[in-house]
Structure formats: C-alpha cells, structure tokens
Structure 1
Amino acid sequence: MADNDPAFILQISDQAIQNNLYLGDFSSDPDDGNVTIITKKLPMPPLLNFHLVSSCNGLLCLRATHPTFGLISIYNPFTRDYIELPKLITEHPSHHLRVLGFGFDPTTKTHKVVEVSYKLGISCGAFGGHFIRSAVRRALYHPQMATPSSSSIESEVNILTVGSSTWRNLGRFPFHIMWQQSQVLVNGKLHWITYTKRSNATKHIMSFDLATEQFKEVPRPDSITPDRHIHELVVLRGCLSAVSFDNDNKQLEIWVMDEYGAKESWVKELSMGAYVPKILQGQPNDERESLNSRMIYEPKKYMRVLCMLSSGRILLESNNKSLVLYDPHCTTFHHLQVTFQGIPRYFRALLHVSSLNWIDT
C-alpha cells in the first residue's frame, strides 16, 4: 500500500457501549500483496456515550447520546484537545430530529457546525413521549428512516462557528436530508442527499457552502436510469461521487463528477454485483435480517463505499460488520481481517486524517 492511502476511525458498538474508538490503517505484505488492517485504540473523550458524526482536519465532531442528548463536541484524539459547543436551545427539543454537518471554511480558516432540524408532526398522548424518544433515537443513527409526517418538508437551519458562543439562525430549508452518514465535504461545501416530499422518490444532491452559508442544488447524473436510486455520496479522487443501486439492490454503480458543478462531467467509474462477506456467510438468515434491520435498514447485501485506494481498489463496509476490498480490474472481493479488544457486534468506519491541530477557540 502507498503511504497516501487513507486511515480511518472505527467506532465500536457493543450492546449499549458507544465510546470505543480505534484508528485503522492499511498494511500490505511485500511478497504477496495481501492487505491487512492494523488497529490502534485511541484515547476517549470525556463522554459516556456518543455518536461519531464526521471528521475534518484531524478533528472529530461528536454528538452525545444518553444521558446528555443533544450535546455536540469537537475532539482531537491525538492531542486530546476537547471542547463542548454551546447548546442550541429550541422550543421543544425532544420533538425535533436533527442532522449535523461539520467542515472547514477555507475563506475564514474556521471550522463550522451546521444543524438542520425537523419538527416532528406527532402529538404527546399516552404513548407520545415514548414514541418521540424512539423516533429521535432512530433518527440519530438512521435519519433516512425518520420522515416528518407531513408530505411537505420544512426544516430550520442553524450554524455555529467553532470558537463562537452563539448559534446563528439561517432560516428554513425546504428539503429533508436522507442520510446523516452520507455527508461529504468537497470544495469547501458540505453535501447531502435530499428529497422534497415524503412520497417523492426523486433524490436531489444539495450542497451547503461554508463560506457563503447558502444551499444550492448540485446537478445529478442524467445517465442514472429511473430504475436506480442514489443511495449515498462519497469522495473519490478528491471528486464528489454518487453511489446508486438498482431497485433489487443487487447491482451497485459509482458515478464520479470529474469537474465540480458541471453536469456533463459525471462519468460511471464502475459497477459491481452484490457480495456477502465471509463473516456473514455462516450466519443464519434470520440473524442476517436482524443485523440489517437493526443497523441502517439496508438491503441484505448492501455495501457502503468508503474510499478508493491508491491501487484503484475500493474499500467497502458491509452491514457495519465487515471491511472488504473490491478490485475492479479482477472483479474480486477480499475480506479484510480487523481485530479489536474483545469481539464487538458492530462498528462504524469513517475516513480520518490524523493531525496535531488544536481546536479553534
């Protein structure tokens, strides 16, 4: 492996524990070229439980879960620099679903956190409180499963410059963000997959410019046929890229926008079939179903694209349980062995560039 292959953060989930972080790095045998993952446990932030939102310039954005739900913090696991951000006060915090974005504004050289919140259209009857808490927990980990009850979407956008003491309200946003985990940062802009109505199957790609603090629609590739849908966004070769599946969720395509903002520059990088990694092949069907439905409500053989390595191979995450390398030249899959202290049931992988950066204050 080349030295410029990316490293990544692994957040380990074992029952209710959400605060184990590992750094994963690639290693290859010079004789046979086999690739392995070397993991190193990282120091923990002063949080009992948290959700790993994103990584930027060596800094991690974390959202606390129980018992301080809603607390957002920034953490560098190598310097152990840590700050808690001012809490955003809303009228009914338990009635809102929130999606976070974290990135770097190159014009002001500051980091910013964006929060898009949706008010739940539900009442608090005898079971209302329980339903709201369940919906909020579901949205925290799987926002694409939590859809406002109205067919029209209305959300509120707030932004905080890290180091500032106050959030700023940017008004309304007439889209629903499909998936928190699919946030990508390209050209100083955050990107998400969105849609405008609950019943609308058409997905849009929306950008948020961290400098101008404006949303703008990014043209999607016309060549993605109606029987396919964009499922996630990734960054490949430094370019905004889209992953699409067919309606049977068996064929995956990766499209790359070679020239940012130019609709005609979308090109299909590759396509691949479904694959069940070894770690899942020995499991009973009902356990596979439980694993899929519990994590991100994804199809049985769905794979999440993480990045492209210098060799041209694609790093994939399957079912929050396995890392796999796909070689597009040989059209082969190679399961990567990942070791931790203990045997966690699930993990989440997030690309990460380590640094000694201190947090803006």
Structure 2
Amino acid sequence: MDRLPQELVLDILSRLPTPSLVQSKSVSRGWRILIRDKALINKHFNRLVDKDPTFILQIRDQPAQNQLYFGDLSCHGNLMIITKKLTMPPLPTFHLVSSCNGLLCFRGTHRSFGLICVYNPFTRDYIELPKLIAEHPSHHVGVLGFGFDASTEKYKVVEVLYKGITRRSSSSIESAVHILSVGSPTWRNLGSFPFHFMWQKSQILVHGKLHWISYPDKNNATNLIMSFDLANEQFLEVPLPDCMISWDRQFHELVVLRGCLSAVSFEDDNEELEIWVMKEYGVRESWVKEFSIGAYVSRLLQPNDEHESLNSSMYYSPKICMRVLSLLTSGGILLEYRSKAVVVYDPHCKKFQDLHLTFEGIPRCFRAVVHVASLNWIDT
C-alpha cells in the first residue's frame, strides 16, 4: 500500500462498503489515520450519495422499541434488505430527529428527556450535547433542527421553544430560538420569532438551510415555508408555488428530491397528493409540479375485519398516512405508509409496488429516515 500513489489509494478505498472501512481501522495506527482522512471521507461519501438511498429504521413497537436497523435497497427480487442491526446509542429511550452527512441526531425521551446527542452508528462516534435550560418555565419544546454549516465546517443544532401554544393556529405566539455549534459548551439565544412550526417530519436540510412548514396565523391564511440559514443564522420566508396561495390546498410535508427543495401538497376534497419541486432554489417561478400520486393501500395495511373496513377510507387516506422518502435512480418514488409499509410508486406507469422488509422478527411499526452510511465523525 505504501508504494501506491496516495490518490490511487483513496480512490480504491472510497469504493469499499462503510463496515469494511470501519473494521480496517483496527489493522494499525497508520490505517486508523488513513480511514479518518478528510479526503477519503469526502470521496467515499460523494460516491454513496449518487447511489440509491439507504435508511436508518427506528423500531417503535415492543420488544424491540428504539432498536435501530440499517436498510438498503437490493436489486435481488426487488426487496429492501435489512443488512445490519445497529449498535444502540447510549440512551435508554430516544427519538430519531434527523440524519446529516452520516450522523444521526437523537433527542432523549422520558427519563433522559432534554438530552440531545449526535451519533454515527457505524463508527460509533458519539457526543452528548449540553442541555438547554429554558429562560422561561412555561416554554416547552417545539421543533429541533440539525445540519452542517459549510462556511465554518461545524454541525449545528437549532431548538425552537414555544410558550403557551394550545392549538395549531395561534394569533399570538411567543417563541425562543436557540442554537448550538456541536463542540461548543453553551447554547446561544437568537431571540424570538412569530411563527409556529409544524411537526418534526416537516424539517429538511437543503442548500445549507433548515426548512420547516409553519401553521397559518392571523397574518397568513396559508402554510408558509420558513428557512433558517445555518451560516448567517437568520430566518427567511421561502417563496411558495402559485398553487399554494389558496385556501383549498395544504402542505403535507417537505422533502429533498435530487438536491431540490420539494413540497408535498393536497386539496381538502381530493385524495391525490402533488409533489412540487423548486428547480432553482429561492426562485418562485422555478416551482414545478413534478409528480401526482393517487390513493393506495399497501397489502400490509389491508383491513383485517369488517369493522376496520368501514373506516378504511379515512384510516388509509394518503393525506394522513403517507410520507415521501426519496427519489430512486430508476425514477420511482419511495413512500412510507403509516410507519408500517414501504412502497415504490412508478410515476410513468402509475403503479405501486410493495417492498418486503426483512428483520430479526417482524416489527409492526417503524420510522424510516434517509441516511448515508458514511465515515464522518465529529471533531470537537
């Protein structure tokens, strides 16, 4: 290996699976240094990003509650194969917030509530973040964001705390925004802002900015998309597609498709979902309706008895139960239904295909998060 040019060595290693590279750190001190080389980490990561997505699945039902699995799409029989049961982070119970560059952000629940950690499930690098102490006792957790600031090469966590929110739409919202650069000992208070963000699943990271959907209020009749720039630490309203500036359409969620900010929307009286893609970030006129997805019930969600079938129309409404995960290299759209089934939708043939999930045991409920199994680690 010493006789080969460094560039060739990095190129060869960048093509290997992440678990193999992690294991090679045990060979010698030289290998350990090589595997942590930033050039190799970046080259390896960029190769993985161009492939079909992989996933972290957090199991939500007993007895494997909070167990993590790594999921990969297999070309053999069109299956999603669960290739690896992952080592758990050192938390008794936790909620998986998001994934960024191969790092997972977790929030502790129950006894460890308030604890936030960042973890690479393959390298097992782990860091527990300082706890945020709210200035006002009535402040409670709203949403949490995690992303990478390329200008400083730092990972940052943003936490929005709300005061006195009792309903989705509030004419008077008091909030406090705090930010922490991972590795720093203290949180910084960025002040208040007049928006109430939707649930955690609406948060995505694109173009160095975190994005959330906000609820309507007395000044806005419709949902808004708000961005938070991790570099300048400022909020900004993202221009909406024309279809969204109306009373009869609502946002379902935000998603990143081929690196573009995308919004999933629906009409109140229509079961069909539309996916709008912002082809040029920040340019309102670049919004394009790229996909439409009709109603579908996975075989795993078929009603088991007559009583359940009476409510199946509402229970299996895609507006309520479907999440868009990613766009495949084949052009198919990967969907998650009611945290129990994964489906591929072919927008050309307008057909759905259930994917089989293989576990050690069959969990009834899970949450899938798109994740790149990288060598990234946190330099504190």
What is the distance in 1 between the residues matched to 2:137 and 2:121? 29
2:80 to 37, 41, 62: 37
Question: Structure 2: which amino acid aligns with 1:358?
Answer: W
What is the distance in 1 between the residues matched to 2:313 and 2:126? 34
The answer on whether the counterparts of 2:105 and 2:116 sit within 8 Å (CA) in structure 1 is yes
What is the distance in 1 between the residues matched to 2:223 and 2:233? 22
User: Where do residues 268-283 of structure 1 align in structure 2 (5 Å cutoff)?
Assistant: 268-283=289-304
Q: 1:98 offset after TM fit, Å?
A: 2.5
Match of 1:127 in 2: none
Taking structure 1 as the reference length, what is the TM-score of the superposition? 0.85
What is the distance in 1 between the residues matched to 2:282 and 2:319? 34
What is the distance in 2 between the residues matched to 1:28 and 1:205? 36
User: Where do residues 155-170 of structure 1 align in structure 2 (5 Å cutoff)?
Assistant: 155-170=175-190
Q: 1:195 offset after TM fit, Å?
A: 2.6
Residues 243 and 300 (structure 1 numbering): CA distance in 2 closer, same or farther, change over 3 Å?
Answer: closer
Per-residue CA deviations over 1:162-202 (Å, capped at 9, x if unaligned) read 00000000000110111211211111000010135289651
Q: 1:223 offset after TM fit, Å?
A: 2.8
1:214 to 222, 231, 234: 234
User: Where do residues 192-207 of structure 1 align in structure 2 (5 Å cutoff)?
Assistant: 192-197=212-217, 201-207=221-227
Taking structure 2 as the reference length, what is the TM-score of the superposition? 0.80
Task: Please say if 1:228 is aligned against 2:249.
Answer: yes
Residues 213 and 274 (structure 1 numbering): CA distance in 2 closer, same or farther, change over 3 Å?
Answer: same
Mean alpha-carbon deviation: is it higher for 269-278 or for 205-214? 269-278
Residues 291 and 90 (structure 1 numbering): CA distance in 2 closer, same or farther, change over 3 Å?
Answer: farther
1:23 to 70, 75, 90: 70
Q: 1:284 offset after TM fit, Å?
A: 3.9
1:317 to 330, 333, 336: 336
What is the distance in 2 between the residues matched to 1:24 and 1:256? 26
Q: Secondary structure at the match of 2:60?
A: strand
The answer on whether the counterparts of 1:8 and 1:349 sit within 8 Å (CA) in structure 2 is yes
What is the distance in 1 between the residues matched to 2:324 and 2:219? 26
Match of 1:8 in 2: 55
User: Where do residues 90-105 of structure 1 align in structure 2 (5 Å cutoff)?
Assistant: 90-91=134-135, 95-105=139-149
Q: Please give the root-mean-square deviation of Cα atoms over the aligned residues, in Å.
A: 2.7
Q: Secondary structure at the match of 2:111?
A: coil
- Greater strand share, structure number: 1
What is the distance in 2 between the residues matched to 1:359 and 1:291? 46
Q: For structure 2, which runs of at least 5 residues remain unmatched after alignment? A: 1-48
Per-residue CA deviations over 1:294-345 (Å, capped at 9, x if unaligned) read 9xx9767631101100011000000111000000011000000112122222
Q: For structure 1, which runs of at least 5 residues remain unmatched after alignment? A: 123-145
Task: Please say if 1:80 is aligned against 2:100.
Answer: no
Question: Structure 2: which amino acid aligns with 1:251?
Answer: E
What is the distance in 2 between the residues matched to 1:235 and 1:11? 20
Residues 196 and 227 (structure 1 numbering): CA distance in 2 closer, same or farther, change over 3 Å?
Answer: closer
The answer on whether the counterparts of 1:205 and 1:220 sit within 8 Å (CA) in structure 2 is yes
Question: Structure 2: which amino acid aligns with 1:206?
Answer: M
Q: 1:18 offset after TM fit, Å?
A: 3.7
Per-residue CA deviations over 1:78-125 (Å, capped at 9, x if unaligned) read 011111100001145575132100000000000000000101357xxx
Match of 2:105 in 1: 61
The answer on whether the counterparts of 2:277 and 2:288 sit within 8 Å (CA) in structure 1 is yes
What is the distance in 2 between the residues matched to 1:99 and 1:112? 14
What is the distance in 2 between the residues matched to 1:107 and 1:329? 40
Aligned residues: 330
Match of 2:43 in 1: none
Mean alpha-carbon deviation: is it higher for 38-47 or for 194-203? 194-203
What is the distance in 1 between the residues matched to 2:353 and 2:90? 37
What is the distance in 2 between the residues matched to 1:118 and 1:178? 12
Q: Secondary structure at the match of 1:305?
A: strand
What is the distance in 1 between the residues matched to 2:144 and 2:177? 10
Task: Please say if 1:184 is aligned against 2:228.
Answer: no
Q: Secondary structure at the match of 1:35?
A: coil
